[in-house]
Amino acid sequence: MYTAHFGLKAAPFSITPDPNYLYLSVCHREALAHLSYGVSEGPGFVLLTGEVGTGKTTLCRCLIEQLPDTVDVALLLNPRLSSLELLANIFDELRIDYNAKDFTLKNYIDILASYLLTANSVGRKTVLILDEAQNLSTDVLEQVRLLTNLETSDQKLLQIILVGQPELNKLIKRNNLRQLAQRITARYFLSPLSFKDTLAYIQHRLAISGSHETIFLKSAVRLIYQHSKGIPRLINIICDRALLGGYVKGKKQINNRIVNKATKEVRGENIQAISILKTSAVFLIMVFTLMMSAWKLGYLSENQTFNDLMQHKFLTPVTKYFAPVNYKQKISLETNTSETITISQPNEIEIDITETNAIPKEEPIVELKPKPVNLLEILPTAKTQSAFITLFHLWGLDYNNLKGTKACERAASRGLTCLLRTGTWNDIRSLNRPAILELVMGNGAQHHLVITGFSGDDKVSISILEKSYQFSIQELNQLWLGQFLLLWQPPAMPIPVMKRGLVNDAVIWIRKHLNHHEGRYSELSNLSARFDYTLKNRVVDFQTKHNLEADGIVGEQTMLILQSFSNTLPLLFYTPVINLIKEE
């Protein structure tokens, strides 16, 4: 719409990751160098992280364009997959034939290994790039790690690049992913742009689009930098809206006023003003309707104008009595029930009603349904700290009076630990604890609220600033990318991994919870601290029943599910104890 007005060949600030518009700041150059190193020389994983909208995906596409023809790339942009779906997507990207119905995990691995060996023998490299990797489940990440075992005696057959938001760093620091963390040989965090880079970034994109003039004043660029915090995606959105605003106003240069207005429109801050304009329009329509009624009934002469009406203070009595005033005459109207209404002016209104066989009618009782709560309207109040205050309160703790500067440090001071995970609603159900959900708006703004329970299969109860609401899962899915955080109480810190042969007080914890789950209430004391063969079999049975990996090893996931059956904790829903004792 505005390209011709500013003399441009194309829209310069599209948010799609177009490598042609890539501006290589110092940080972007270093990040690209790390990715190139990972492809050519890196013996392990390459990790690229950065905030939302900093240009990670654009860098990946730029890397792909720079790679030689001897490199095959599998770029996966949707990581919320199972292990089999992940392998199927890799096969699709590499154009390897497979039978989705009949293939097992072993079939995929065997064929992939054969393909990679063949590619290596003819001098070809294969690269796997996983974008948005913070959304990968721990099981899929472990499967990705196992793919690096495909190697020859002197080199890896598959180079893997993990790209994601800062949460990915926290994810791979978990104890059960330490093997993956040890294989990361190159890491880089992509920072937002500085003001100097923001100025150069805007000029660069305008130049690529054919601009030969200064369109954005330097003071306007400084405002854009302040509003966007140097995040390229937000810079694009604000600049695009500012160019549209300049076109509408017929301006050839973008100044501070246009940028401020564009920013408000991007943030939705002009919605209230629009609402006021709509209300005013409705009010004016009502006034003109009353004027036409007044003319028709003879209260006003035809040559009286709207200004005359305003000067005679017509509006005040209309809104109060719905009858015209300030005229020195009496008017009689005949109603349908032979009622005579006498109106005396100018000081007051006198109504005399004489009824003839008028039967009063009962007014029907109208039940007003409460207006449904709009999620987008209350989200601005869903702040991170208030969410933690609510979550800690559910555990009977005062967040503000605990030691520590960060939330998880405060939890650790009372024997609790944080679990930050990317998953599904089924994951939250199985863990069965109140959790903080992270909702992300279209402009990248993040809001945090607490899920406190489920209502059926399609609704959840949430808490914001100690107020409870109910929303459908479908509505929340529009903004939820799978990130959630919950608190739980492990048997010891650091969290142990227990298996057969271990002697530890944490084993007693396992026995107590298993006995409680199985209904063995008489066996809750004098328990052995040795992890013996019988206990391993009981653990395997529990893991099998709850769709866990039945290896008899008690790690974080098994402890979480096991503890979720303890009705003494804050839970999303209380579950009846399963009695597994056979009657003799």
pLDDT tens per residue across span 411-465: 888 888 888 777 788 889 888 899 999 888 776 678 899 999 988 778 999 999 8
Sheet of strand 184-190: strand arrangement:
71-76, 125-130, 159-164, 45-50, 184-190
pLDDT tens-digit series, residues 165-205: 988 888 888 888 888 888 887 888 888 998 989 999 999 99
pLDDT at 13 over 70: yes
Length of the chain counted residue by residue:
584
Residues 6+ apart with CB under 8 A from 175: 494, 495, 497, 555, 556
Mean pLDDT confidence for 456-484: 87
> How does the average pLDDT of the chain come out, rounded?
78
Q: Say if residue 490 is preceded by a cis peptide, omega within 30 of 0.
A: no
- pLDDT: which is higher, 523 or 547: 547
3-state SS class at 115: helix
Mean pLDDT confidence for 316-344: 40
Q: How far apart are CA 384 and CA 448, in angstroms?
A: 5
Supply angle C-alpha 498, 403, 570, rounded to 5. Answer: 55
Instruction: Read off the tokens for 233.
Output: 């995606």
pLDDT tens-digit series, residues 489-520: 888 877 788 888 888 888 998 998 898 888 88
Closest CA to 421 of 251, 300, 556, 545: 556
For the entire predicted model, the pTM comes to 0.47
Least confident range of 264-273, 281-290, 418-427, 559-568: 281-290
Cα atoms found within 13 Å of the Cα of residue 72, Cβ hemisphere only: 19
Contact 530, 545 (CB under 8 A): no
E strand segments, 66-155: 71-76, 125-130
Q: How far apart are CA 410 and CA 391, in angstroms?
A: 12
> What pLDDT score was predicted for residue 80?
77
> What pLDDT score was predicted for residue 573?
75
In the chain the domains, ranked by start, together with CATH numbers, are: 43-190 (3.40.50.300), 273-343 (no CATH), 375-487 (3.90.70.10), 490-584 (1.10.101.10)
pLDDT at 330 over 70: no
Four-CA torsion 314, 320, 322, 323, nearest 10 degrees? -60
Contact 143, 83 (CB under 8 A): yes
Mean pLDDT confidence for 328-350: 40
Helix 195-208 to helix 232-249 angle (10° resolution) is 60
Q: How far apart are CA 269 and CA 74, in angstroms?
A: 41
Least confident range of 167-176, 271-280, 469-478: 271-280
% the chain with pLDDT above 70: 78
Contact 498, 510 (CB under 8 A): yes
Q: How far apart are CA 212 and CA 192, in angstroms?
A: 27
pLDDT tens-digit series, residues 23-66: 888 888 888 888 888 787 766 788 899 988 888 888 888 888 88
Closest CA to 243 of 252, 232, 234, 233: 252
Instruction: Give me the DSSP letters along 341-393.
Output: EEE--SS--------SSPPPPPPPP-PPPPPPPPHHHHGGG--HHHHHHHHHH
pLDDT at 328 over 90: no
| C-alpha separations of 518 from 509, 515, 522, 530, 566 in Å | 14, 5, 11, 19, 12
Grade residue 303 by pLDDT with cuts at 50, 70 and 90.
Answer: very low
pLDDT at 297 over 60: no
Q: How far apart are CA 82 and CA 398, in angstroms?
A: 39
> What pLDDT score was predicted for residue 536?
92
pLDDT tens-digit series, residues 230-247: 999 999 999 999 998 888
> What pLDDT score was predicted for residue 270?
54
Grade residue 249 by pLDDT with cuts at 50, 70 and 90.
Answer: confident
> What pLDDT score was predicted for residue 393?
92
Which range has the top average pLDDT, 307-311, 372-376, 473-477? 473-477
> What pLDDT score was predicted for residue 390?
93
